[in-house]
Amino acid sequence: MNNSPKIIISGGGTGGHIFPAVAIANALKRIVPGCEILFVGAIGRMEMEKVPAAGYKIVGLNISGIQRGSIVKNLALPFKVLGSVRKAMQLINDFKPDAVVGVGGYASGPLLYAASLKGIPYLIQEQNSYAGVTNKWLGKKASKICVAFDDMDQFFPADRILKTGNPVRQEVVDIKGKHYSGAELLKLDPLKKTILVTGGSLGAGTLNKSIEKHLPDIIEQDVQVIWQTGKFYYKGIIERLGLDYHPNVRILEFLNKMDLAYAAADVIISRAGAGTIAELCLIKKPVILVPSPNVAEDHQTKNALALVKNNAAVLINDRSAEDTLVAEALRLLKDKAYGETLSENIGKMALPAADEIIANEVLKLIIA
């Protein structure tokens, strides 16, 4: 293999696809500093902002998914797909990648399809315990499919599956010694108990409603909360509560330094996205998971149950969150022994080094 292999990483849409992609890129750069990486995403989606912020170049395809409730918008879809495949072919002709990686999301489809037409080897990284139609179809010609769950041979050819776990950005899970700096950056008191609420990369309506309703209970116990609302909900919440609602309450749209929030927290309330769970296993804090009921095949419940059956997290249903979530978090803050058990058990479920294992698999495709 030469010292400057060229690799395209494609996909995005939500943080759940983007951040594993960045983690793989970072690992590739650590292993082969001279490698050239180009990201390909979808115009208008989160990756077009987050990937350059992580220090990588990205090109956008004009592609979207099926839009519910708008026949007119969907009429353009076949043309967008064709146009995107054409642009993907052009990108491959120009960049001349040695290998391609697909992490899921709209841009992955056209890019991997173009790679297959051009005979360029590609690897799929599937974060969840189920695979959508596009990934299943692309999996037929993939050289390797790196997965995080068992029984994925129901979706992909068994001989090419490798269970690696989900890749996470190292800097996000490196929280040792950051408790004080985390609290300071978030303008919180490092000596007070703190709950972190994260609704995944987009935020979660149910978590927001549950927190907003019970803020007085949190304040009454002099507990602090780092509350990540998500972009869609932030404005409404700030309009209702104001930015400086109470010194114990820090409201943020998105946490750019997730490590500092993880470090500052004593208990974490979270949706059960696969990437967040992989991080939670590595940071080893007591966690309450509220799986989103609005995702394909109810996969967040499956993600959460994998932990709950090992007594590694508390599960609260979306339906009952508004009534019970905050009370449970406040209870968990006080129950030191239970918190320690949860922390110990979640740590046992970590699959570290997924980023480097996957990066090495990508490099093997080039040598092969």
Ligand X SMILES: CC(=O)N[C@H]1[C@@H](OP(=O)(O)OP(=O)(O)OC[C@H]2O[C@@H](n3ccc(=O)[nH]c3=O)[C@H](O)[C@@H]2O)O[C@H](CO)[C@@H](O)[C@@H]1O
Binding site for ligand X (CB under 6 A): 14-17, 19, 127-128, 172, 198, 200-202, 228, 254-255, 258, 273-276, 279, 292, 295, 299-300
Q: What are phi and psi of 6, to 5 degrees?
A: -110, 130
Choice between 83 and 132, CB closer to ligand X: 132
Choice between 121 and 292, CB closer to ligand X: 292
Minimal distance in Å, beta carbon 350 to ligand X?
Answer: 14
Q: Which residues contact 19 (CB under 8 A, 6 or more apart)?
A: 50, 168, 169, 172, 201, 275
Choice between 28 and 280, CB closer to ligand X: 280
Residue 292 is assigned to a ligand binding site: no
Residue 16 is assigned to a ligand binding site: yes
**Is 203:233 a contact under the CB 8 Å cutoff?**
yes
Residue 13 is assigned to a ligand binding site: no
Taken as a whole, the chain contains a residue count of 368
Minimal distance in Å, beta carbon 6 to ligand X?
Answer: 26
Instruction: Give first-to-last CA distance, the chain, whole Å.
Output: 9
Residue 250 is assigned to a ligand binding site: no
> H-helix or E-strand containing 173?
helix 170-173
Residue 228 is assigned to a ligand binding site: no
Choice between 41 and 275, CB closer to ligand X: 275
Choice between 95 and 254, CB closer to ligand X: 254
**Is 247:267 a contact under the CB 8 Å cutoff?**
no
- Of 299, 296, 261, 40, the closest CA to residue 166 belongs to 299
Minimal distance in Å, beta carbon 105 to ligand X?
Answer: 9
Residue 273 is assigned to a ligand binding site: no
- Of 259, 206, 235, the closest CA to residue 19 belongs to 259
If DSSP codes are grouped into helix, strand and coil, which group holds residue 97? coil
Minimal distance in Å, beta carbon 86 to ligand X?
Answer: 27
Q: Which residues are annotated as a binding site?
A: 14-16, 128, 169, 201, 300
Residues of the binding site for UDP-N-acetyl-alpha-D-glucosamine: 14-16, 128, 169, 201, 300
